Structure formats: C-alpha cells, structure tokens
C-alpha cells in the first residue's frame, strides 16, 4: 500500500495502529509510549498528559483515525541519531489541512515550502523536530534532529514506492498482505 510505502527501509521497529485517535489514551499510557519516551528523551509526564489533552486527541482522531504506521530507525546518514517516521491516511481531512482550514489546530508549527505544492509544518522542541506534510490524502511525518528526513517520505509517496521488506514481513505474519 502507498501508506506503508511512505516509510523507508532500515527500521528497527514497526508499530501499526487502527484508529489511533480513538485509542490514544490507552496507547499513551502503555509500554510502547514508555519505549518511545526513552528513545527520544521525552518527559514521560508529557506523554501521559497528552493522553488527556483534548486537542491532541482531536488531532489524532482527524489524522490517525484509520490505519497508521510508525517506524523507528537506529540512525540516519545525515545525523546518525535515532528517528521516527510515520504515515497515516487522512482522506478529506488532509485536503482541509492542505488548504489551511485546519491551521488553528497547528498554531505551534511553522510552515516551510519544500517544492511545488508541498508545505511542511515543523515544530521544534529541545533540538528535535516534528515535521509533517499532507500529500494526496496521506499524513506523513518525522520526529528527528533533521527536518530533511521528511523529504525521503515525500519522495516515496510521489513515486508510489513499494513497502520496505520489513513492513511486508510484519503484514504477511498478520495475514494482511
């Protein structure tokens, strides 16, 4: 699928979620959140608070209400540090986002133009960048020290790349090829 194809090879872990927005309270207080917080030096209290934050839950319901993929990578050639990539189907909400109608929901983000018709939304925290883009109904994003990591996901969506072998293995083991 194009959703899975957005994520490049080389991941060390993959998490696939259905209706993450509807399950955020459970996920944010679970073991996966603990691991992610540790990998990215996040304050666990902030992660737990996000599980009760109505704005976070609303965003996740809008942008991660269907299937979402999260992949952890041990390093990137530019920074050599751990990073996270994700993709989710947003459908019409993605179009509203691209048109700027949902901009008030992202007031802490700044917009960067990265090419014809593509805008990236970036938020910086302690030297890490959450970078988002919506392309053809897909929300793609990265959490890393380098916003350029998102360009690889954009390229993969544009060229309709096949899923990385690691994703195929996970989906095949679950009978969802």
pLDDT value for 175: 60
pLDDT band, residue 177 (cuts 50/70/90): very low
**Closest alpha carbon to 120 in 159, 152, 78:** 152
Tokens of 113: 């133009």
Q: What is the pTM of this model?
A: 0.83
pLDDT tens across 48-63, in order? 787 788 888 888 888 8
Higher pLDDT, 134 or 46: 134
Order the strands of the 110-115 sheet from edge to edge.
13-18, 67-73, 83-89, 138-144, 128-135, 118-125, 110-115
In the predicted structure, residue 104 carries a pLDDT above the cut 70: yes
Residue 67 in this model has a pLDDT that exceeds 80: yes
> How high is the pLDDT of residue 45?
79
Tokens 């872990």, located at residue: 13
Residue 95: burial class (beta carbons within 10 Å; 0-12, 13-18, 19+)? middle
Render 132-172 in DSSP notation, one character per residue: EEEETTEEEEEEES-TTHHHHHHHHHHTTPPPPHHHHHHHH
What share of the chain has pLDDT > 90, as a percent? 7
Q: Check residue 7 and give its pLDDT.
A: 92
3-class DSSP state of 56: helix
Residue 131 — pLDDT band, cuts 50, 70, 90?
Answer: very high
Give the residue-averaged pLDDT of 87-112.
Answer: 81
Average pLDDT over residues 144-150: 88
pLDDT above 60 (res 174):
yes
Maximum Cα–Cα distance across the chain: 41
CA distances from 45 to 28, 33, 51, 134, 141 (A): 10, 11, 10, 29, 23
Would you say residue 47 has pLDDT above 80?
no
Q: Which residue has the higher pLDDT, 60 or 98?
A: 60
């Amino acid at each position: 699928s194009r959703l899975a194809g957005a994520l490049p090879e080389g991941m060390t872990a993959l998490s696939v979620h259905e209706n993450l927005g509807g399950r955020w309270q459970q996920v944010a207080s679970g073991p996966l959140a603990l691991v992610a917080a540790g990998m990215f030096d996040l304050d666990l209290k902030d992660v737990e608070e996000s599980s009760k934050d109505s704005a976070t839950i609303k965003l996740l319901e809008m942008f991660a209400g269907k299937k979402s993929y999260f992949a952890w990578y041990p390093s990137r050639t530019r920074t050599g540090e751990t990073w996270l990539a994700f993709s989710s189907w947003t459908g019409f909400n993605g179009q509203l986002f691209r048109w700027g109608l949902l901009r008030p929901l992202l007031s802490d983000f700044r917009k960067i133009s990265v090419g014809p018709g593509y805008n990236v939304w970036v938020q910086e925290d302690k030297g890490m960048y959450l970078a988002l883009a919506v392309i053809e109904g897909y929300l793609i994003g990265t959490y890393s020290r380098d916003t350029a990591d998102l360009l690889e996901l954009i390229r993969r969506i544009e060229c309709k790349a096949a899923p990385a072998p690691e994703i195929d293995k996970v989906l095949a083991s679950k009978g969802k090829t």
